[in-house]
Amino acid sequence: MRSSSYGKLQIIILKIVKSLIVVAQNFQDEEFVYPYYKLKEFSEVYVASSDGKDRFGKYGVPARVTHKFSDINVDDLDVIVIPGGFECPDRLRIDQDCLKIVKDCVDKKILVAAICHGPWVLISAGVTKGIPMTGYLAIHTDLANSGALLDSVNELVVTDHFITAQHYRNNPEFMLAVKDKLSV
């Protein structure tokens, strides 16, 4: 927020936060729905998939997609959220357009938040080396082998530009950390 005064008139300029959630088929429903609605409280939310078509979670929750990966300009973003579930990140991690978005966000120091198996996408993007991270128990070895500084004790790990969480039960603190990092 920026404030300017002109005589007795004060003008407040608010920055609109822009968030992106990347999805593929069979995301963990709770790891899309909870972040989506929390982000809607303080940001404009984009949802992107490889072809711009809607996707569905493991339990049938729809993700109404607004963009194709190839249409995303990371300069417009403040945060990218990568949900888990097993199949969704497994698909995202082989999508070159999605990986480019992640790499570009990291290069531009845009906040990257990944939960559960979501850090798999960060591994495939080659952005984990030397970064403290966590994720679902089944990917701890993958994180360590990628050069991430695995934190297997804490369920939420927050660094300057990364937020990672282990499980959808961590959604409240995961999204609170996102909101705090964005200073909204």
Q: Where are the domains of the chain?
A: 16-181
Of the pLDDT bands very low, low, confident and very high (cuts 50, 70, 90), residue 4 is low
3, 4, 18, 43, 174 from 15: Cα distances, Å: 11, 14, 9, 10, 22
Residue 27 has pLDDT above 60, yes or no: yes
Tokens 């480019």 sit at which residue?
100
Per-residue pLDDT reduced to its tens digit, 6-17: 567 776 666 799
Write out the two tokens for 119. 């850090």
Write down the catalytic residue from 88, 116, 140, 167.
116
User: Any catalytic annotation for residue 167?
Assistant: no
pTM, two decimal places = 0.93
User: Any catalytic annotation for residue 88?
Assistant: no
Write down the catalytic residue from 88, 98, 105, 117.
117
Per-residue pLDDT reduced to its tens digit, 75-129: 999 999 999 999 999 999 999 999 999 999 999 999 999 999 999 999 999 999 9
CATH number of this structure's domain 16-181 = 3.40.50.880
